[in-house]
Amino acid sequence: MPTTEIAQFPDRLRAMSIHFPFAWAIVHGEKDFEYRTKATKYRGIFLVHASGTKESDEYMAEYNIPQEQIVRKAIIGAVELLDCVEDTKESGYYYELDNPIVFEEAIPVSGQQSIFWPASTPERVWAFNCAWEQIPKYPFQVKYEDDLIILLNGEADIEFGVLEHGFWQKLVPRMQNGHIDLAMAEVDALLDEIPESEEDT
């Protein structure tokens, strides 16, 4: 593992440590929520880290997890957080999840108990880079037209301007050879934020 690594992932990307077997169930699409005692404003993709604890192993049989897929202290996939809904009866919150991704290679890394944690150490930067490589993405060509900067994906027929909305400043560090790779959830978020009249600029 390198001691110095340049981040190749979005700077807002976070991870969440979740007990096994629930981490496994989330990335395999068998659990579409995570219950927490605190609300969050975070939305979008986050990395699912299977924590090292065995406190929830009593639920292992409920999911029929193959022995070879039991991995702890590792990032095992990703999922998109769509919403955070209050549970008024129990004073907690349901994090509504969708679009789960199972990584072909689990990435060993230490986690932490806070709800969402960042790549705050060289070890985590390396782990987040490895995780980001395993998330499916759309490749976008960067086009410059007059005073516009446009992202174009001909295969998916997606085109939108990014300069006027402040998106470009966040995306430009990730540009390589005139292209930027965006995760599907990132594309959806951008399309939601850009007024319909300004799409297909």
| CB hemisphere CA count around 42 (13 angstroms) | 23
The whole-number pLDDT of residue 136 equals 87
Tokens representing 185 are: 């959830």
Task: For the chain, 201 residues long, give each residue's pLDDT as a single digit of tens.
Answer: 555 678 888 888 999 999 999 999 999 999 999 999 999 999 889 999 999 999 999 999 899 898 889 999 999 999 999 999 999 888 899 999 998 999 999 999 999 888 999 999 999 999 999 999 999 888 888 888 877 788 888 777 788 777 766 677 777 777 888 888 888 777 777 777 665 434 444
Nearest CA among 96, 75, 80 for reference residue 187? 80
Tell me: the pLDDT tens digits for 59-90?
998 998 988 899 999 999 999 999 999 998 88
Are 159 and 153 in contact, with CB atoms under 8 Å apart?
yes
Domains of the chain: 14-133 (2.30.130.30), 137-194 (no CATH)
d(CA 151, CA 121): 32
Contacting residues for 60 by C-beta, under 8 A, at least 6 apart: 20, 21, 70
The per-residue DSSP string of the chain comes to --SS----S-TT-EEEEE-TTHHHHHHTTS--EEEESS-----EEEEEEE-S--TTGGGHHHHT--GGG---SEEEEEEEEEEEEEETTTTEEEEEEEEEEEEEEEEE----SSSSB---SHHHHHHHHHHHHTS-EEEEEEEEETTEEEEEETTTTEEEE-TTTTHHHHHGGG-BTTEEEEEHHHHHHHHHHS-GGGB--
pTM to 2 decimal places: 0.77
